[in-house]
Amino acid sequence: MQTEEQIKEMVKQKYSEIALQDKNTNQSSCCGAGGCSTEVYTIMSDDYKELEGYNPDADLGLGCGLPTQFAKIKKGDVVIDLGSGAGNDCFVARHETGETGKVIGIDFTPAMIEKARYNAEVRGFNNVEFRQGDIEKMPVTANSADVVVSNCVLNLVPNKLNVFKEIYRVLKPGGHFSISDIVLTGSLPEKIKVAAEMYAGCVASAIQKEVYLEFIELAGFKNLTLQKEKAIIIPDDILKNYLTVEELAAYKLMGNVIYSITVYAEKPKEEAACCTPGGGCC
């Protein structure tokens, strides 16, 4: 079994390659990871075209939802985007927060940071910045953000509870997040779980929906709301790369077990004196 550091390095290398791919390739695969499908045009991503601030050049087709649409961003807000890629959600968030606000994109991959910074520079977006870093240890001070968004990224991280604790740390009291991610409602075949391509593709690394939501509560968040949920169908011509005919038939008999969810939760405005995020109360 790979260590957490080995998994992170594999994801970093894969997303360095994805940064150089075109949107069509990414949309017809699992978060751009490969196994390109001829059956469908898009597998996970939603259409941003109706959102104000959308910049097609910054959209790599890697998302599985529209978290910025649900994020309740106000003028003047400080917004953090986890796994900011080429800057797509950051630029939508910038439109909502306006010139008086600030948007910080954090990404693990140097190639993505370079691409996002270029996209911001050519558009003259002076209140959008991109920082390379691990979202389990964000390069952001505590209590500094009004809103955190993320689109199909937390599922790539081995220790998801740590990420939610970090989100709690960087949010101001009363701040909130809106995150789109991949979760499971059943079991994946073992061959899918161990496939590096499918891990980088957001599927093999997904956890059970109830565990995912429990992590949010364990981190200290309140008012958890499921804003959107949709089934994710992986086409047969991708699954055939990993499963035999018999295994594929058995998997399909289970019904769909992969879902995209967009979830919202708030950091309490006031914490009890003896409570710590994720640590319970005395």
Residue 34 pLDDT greater than 90, yes or no: no
Q: Domains in the chain, start-ordered, CATH in brackets?
A: 4-266 (3.40.50.150)
Closest CA to 142 of 107, 161, 166, 174: 166
Number of H helices, E strands in the chain: 11, 10
Report pLDDT digits (tens) over 71-104: 999 999 999 999 998 899 999 999 999 999 999 9
What is the Cβ-side half-sphere exposure of residue 238, based on CA atoms within 13 angstroms? Answer: 26
Report pLDDT digits (tens) over 198-228: 545 557 678 999 999 999 999 999 999 999 9
CA angle 15, 17, 20 (to 5 degrees): 110
Helix (H) or strand (E) run with residue 237 in it: helix 236-239
Closest CA to 200 of 18, 33, 27: 33
- The predicted model scores a pTM of 0.82
